[in-house]
Structure 1
């Protein structure tokens, strides 16, 4: 092998090693392809608009609860497998299972225990600015008071999330139960794709995280609305435009004719007709006639006379 060929071979080996290092979580082969395809599982532009409204409303709700400055931002928003989520989450957490009533499915809220302890201090008069929590405290089971407060916080979050989805479709998220063991919160199969929204909550000079897990199968009933690009694609109204359209429709000329009866004749019968002939119709004088516009029947009525003009007294809407 020449020196030039050896250099090319070494360069190719380095390039190959560098390519392997770019695979997420050291995945190779078919697993890497599957995980990469998950990132483009479904494009849901409307979901981002909903989440933007959600964090604005949640900031206000938590500010009203604590009477402290609160800033809520989106720290991360991604798709992943349900089975792989808890493998990477090692912090002591409280897991809220909630039901999407109209969609007949479930979702999860992940609350850090440290955040619950901070809210206990804020709402029950404890020490402020307690940024450090001992390891024993963070790993212990929540007390009844702390569990009650965790539910209160969860219900506030779920209420604001429901209001954010209301702009798409009426939605209700109900608190189901609180768990600490991930083995008891199986709302989807391990391989199912889920949406993971991580919120950064900054309150009383402390930063805490809340995560929302929504399986794709949960939002399947409103998938079509979620794929809209703009909020006004399908819903929302322009009252001025509606008024102008209504006024324009009212001014449209609509031809109306009164039909006594219909009779089917042959071409031969029509060809033999001459001026002065009488065309006899099978219609009794007391029988209702039909008022129609083009081929569409509108009313039934009685024929009569007003002054020297033929008139029709409308009786009923036409029903086929």
Structure 2
């Protein structure tokens, strides 16, 4: 049996000591090491707290989700015709995010397409991640896909002109299919303006602006990736009231039966119209001095047009005459839908 007391073992090292005998790292040093320099955390107040808040409270756009579902079917067919491969397209999510947060989440290398919506006079983005970029290029150049193929090694180089042109064809198809799916809501034209590889050159909104993002997944026989369509809420503002509908054709509470009934009843309503023979400005004293039988000159001849009014609103112009022994008027202008000048 071996006794450890028979061996001269070295003493264990002592922890570093401070000048007063304490351990060298105190709480302040630990806080500084991990980035906490102490002191109360200043809370953001007022408008800055609202702008820089990470919480996004935005109303859902149900019809935008319906449009994206239509894009899935149309884009899958377009990609099959483009690549002659078995393509599976799925909708990952439709969500809201701040523009700055979205741009910071783009994984490089990637392509960012800037497109313009002609009718809305505003812009949107379509982003493609590297996996889908190399899969599309490989498919269009005749590469064979499959689960057994080796993964593409990304070496950090810039995209070539050929790669950019091939991916641009896919982006144009995606924008065309989205515009076609949007036609039942409102006809739009989306044109791809340019493709950037650096997200900083594709800024179309402020960092705090809220945007709607639809993310799609494309699978191409064991390869593929994701692409996203981004619309700032300022871009969707012209059709926001239509995107808030719960289903296609919703009239936001209008009832066609009651609308037709009210229109029919209004047409049956009797109104009193006045024919203004003429007007003359008189002092109040002269008006009070008028007596029965006194004549007032109106400076109107029998052939001059007279104003037809209802409730003090001039509607049209007429000529006075006689029909079947009664005084009558004949319209010489159409009834104006707008108020005629006095």
Normalization by structure 1: what TM-score? 0.67
Matches within 5 A, 1:166-181: 171-181=188-198
Q: Is the 8 A contact 2:64 2:243 kept in 1?
A: no
- 2:58 equivalent among 32, 40, 43: 43
SS of the residue 1:184 aligns to: helix
CA distance in 2, matches of 1:89, 1:63: 24
Structure 2 counterparts to residues 1-320 of structure 1, below 5 A: 30=43, 37-40=53-56, 43-45=58-60, 48-67=61-80, 68=86, 70-75=88-93, 77-80=95-98, 82=100, 84-120=101-137, 126-130=143-147, 134-136=151-153, 139-162=156-179, 171-188=188-205, 191-195=207-211, 197-204=213-220, 206=222, 208-215=225-232, 218-219=234-235, 222=238, 225=241, 243-262=260-279, 273=291, 277=293, 279-282=295-298, 283-317=300-334, 319-320=340-341
Q: Distance in 1 between matches of 2:63 and 2:78?
A: 22
Aligned length: 285
Higher helix share: 1
Q: 1:69 to 1:244 in 2, by over 3 A?
A: farther
Distance 2:152 2:275 in 1: 89
Per-residue deviation at 1:305?
1.7
1:43 is displaced (CA, Å) by 1.9
User: 1:39–1:79: 8 Å Cα contact kept in structure 2?
Assistant: no
- Give me the whole-angstrom Cα distance separating, in 1, the residues matched to 2:112 and 2:194: 8
Structure 1 residues without counterparts, runs of 5 or longer: 1-27
Contact 1:120 1:146 survives alignment (8 Å): yes
Which SS does the other structure have where 1:38 is aligned?
Answer: coil
Aligned partners of 2:308 and 2:315 also within 8 Å: yes
SS at match of 1:66: helix
2:115 alignment partner, SS class: strand
SS in 2 for 1:65: helix
Displacement of 1:260 after TM fit?
A: 1.8
Check 1:312–1:57 CA distance in 2 against 1; reply closer, same or farther (3 A cut).
Answer: same
Contact kept in structure 1, 2:88 and 2:219, CA below 8 Å: yes
| RMSD across aligned positions (CA) | 4.2
Q: In structure 2, how many angstroms separate the alpha carbons of the residues matched to 1:188 and 1:272?
A: 72
Residue of structure 1 equivalent to 2:26? none
Contact 1:43 1:227 in 2 (8 A): no
Q: Deviations over 1:276-316 (max 9, x none)?
A: x3554534333332222221122222222223222223222
**Equivalent position SS for 1:175:** strand
5+ residue gaps, structure 2, are 1-40, 81-85
SS of corresponding position for 1:316: coil
Question: 1:11-55, CA deviations, whole angstroms, 9 ceiling, x for partnerless residues?
Answer: xxxxxxxxxxxxxxxxx7648x67972323x5243xx32431231
Query: C-alpha offsets along residues 169-190 of structure 1, whole Å, 9 cap, x if unaligned?
Result: 664432111122334334345x
Paired residue secondary structure (2:225): strand
Shift of 1:95: 1.5
Give the conservation status (yes or no) of the 8 Å contact 2:124–2:204: yes
